[in-house]
Amino acid sequence: MSIYKTEKSHKLFKRAKEVIPGGLFGHYKHAIRDKGPVFFSRSKGAHFWDIDHNEYIDLMCAYGPSILGYNHPEVDEAAKTQYGLGNTVSLASPVMVDLATTLVDMVDAADWALFGKNGGDSTNLAIMIARFATGKEKIVKVRDGYHGVAPWMQEKDRPGILSSDSEHVLNVEWNDLESFEEILIHNPDRIACFISSPYNHPVFRDNELPKEDYWQKVSALCKEHGIVLIVDDVRAGFRINLSGSNVAYGFTPDLICFGKAIANGYPLSALVGNNDLKEAAEKVFFTGTQFFSAPPMAAAKATLLELKKSDAANKMNDYGKKLNSSLMEVASQFGYKLIASGPPSMPYFRLAEVERKIHFSWIDECVRRGVYMLGYHNHFISTAHSAEDLVTIIQVAKDAFTSLRKND
């Protein structure tokens, strides 16, 4: 397979730096490679094309939102139809009620739903509801857990962040019940909520699933101490279980945050919760000009119905298992050990027992041959990834390992 050239991308990136601080911002800027793509020209299914006309099989799925594949016809048609009726109007659209009903019917822990634009909207709203409902101020989260870019969430040494921004945030270790119990002992009647992803997905490290009884014991402790249990399902939502990732791990939270995949790339997030918190959810002040934009809601309803109809979560997990086992086998053929951690539909890959730069070199070699991956972040499977794609991915992986061995 030929090695891609990306001169147009980097020429445009140079121009972007003149008008956009850093050229790109947010998490996209961390993915830029010296010889990799920067800007796309079009997308379809599980593929995108950069502005140099190179085609890629995308194993990042836009960092998760593309769960049915890019430009999904039913989803796009639902959004297009709603655009013809109205977008952001002085009144709410009936599609908002339809979407809330769909979520309540689909998600086991949901009695109601509220909507925003980004995952951080949902996590911030969840915190506000928990604090109002309990009258307490402390937030407990897993160390290095990510729940958005609000000041309370960010590390104290990041630019623009004050130490006081996170003075009410307490960190516990993942899968460590003793760590959680110790926090409870030292903060009696002060903890409003515990927020966590359903499994631990840090960057640059293997992802970790919960221990067999971890969530059941945490849930029991939260109930005992009057703590609101919040699952941040923004990243994993609908890829592990269509009824909520918590269902796969056998527990029921009070609030669940959704985003990313909920509308297959259209800008929307949601918070769902139980009736015990419905009054608090009604009273907290939380709004935004674009929160009532109707086309993303229409897209979300179409996405959820398509996911349910196609048994998507099981299909993506089965595909992920095939991908993981195939790549691990290819790695072993070349004398490498590849670890795939996390759920099969969201694998984090790491070349073990080698320097980190070797791992990143392998990722880069895959990208330069048309499989888009990242070395520090988990990947994502969509329902659009095909058997043909898997064959291509395996061949690209082989060619990438061959290149590594030549450069040993």
Longest dimension (CA), the chain: 64
CATH domain 73-309 topology: Aspartate Aminotransferase; domain 2 (3.40.640)
Cα(106)–Cα(96) distance, rounded to whole angstroms? 15
Helix (H, G, I), strand (E, B) or coil at 144: coil
Cα separations in angstroms, 288 against 10, 125, 291, 334, 340: 35, 12, 5, 53, 39
Consecutive 10-residue runs of the chain (408 residues): their mean pLDDT? 93 97 91 93 98 98 98 98 98 98 98 97 98 98 94 88 93 97 97 98 96 97 98 98 98 98 98 98 95 98 98 97 98 98 98 95 97 97 98 98 89
Q: What is the 3-state secondary structure (H, E, C) of 224-273?
A: HHCCEEEEECCCCCCCCCCCCHHHHCCCCCCEEEECHHHHCCCCCEEEEE
Q: Confirm whether 7-70+312-406 and 73-309 share one CATH topology.
A: no
User: Looking at residue 41, what is its pLDDT?
Assistant: 98
Pick from 299, 374, 395, 352: which is nearest to 28 by CA? 374
Q: Where are the domains of the chain?
A: 7-70+312-406, 73-309
- The model's pTM is 0.97
User: Looking at residue 156, what is its pLDDT?
Assistant: 83
| Cβ-based neighbours of 373, under 8 Å, separated by 6 or more | 59, 60, 349, 363, 366, 367, 379
| Cβ-based neighbours of 158, under 8 Å, separated by 6 or more | none
Distance of CA 358 to the CA centre of its chain: 26
CATH domain 7-70+312-406 topology: Aspartate Aminotransferase, domain 1 (3.90.1150)
User: Looking at residue 1, what is its pLDDT?
Assistant: 67
Q: Which amino acid is at 373?
A: M
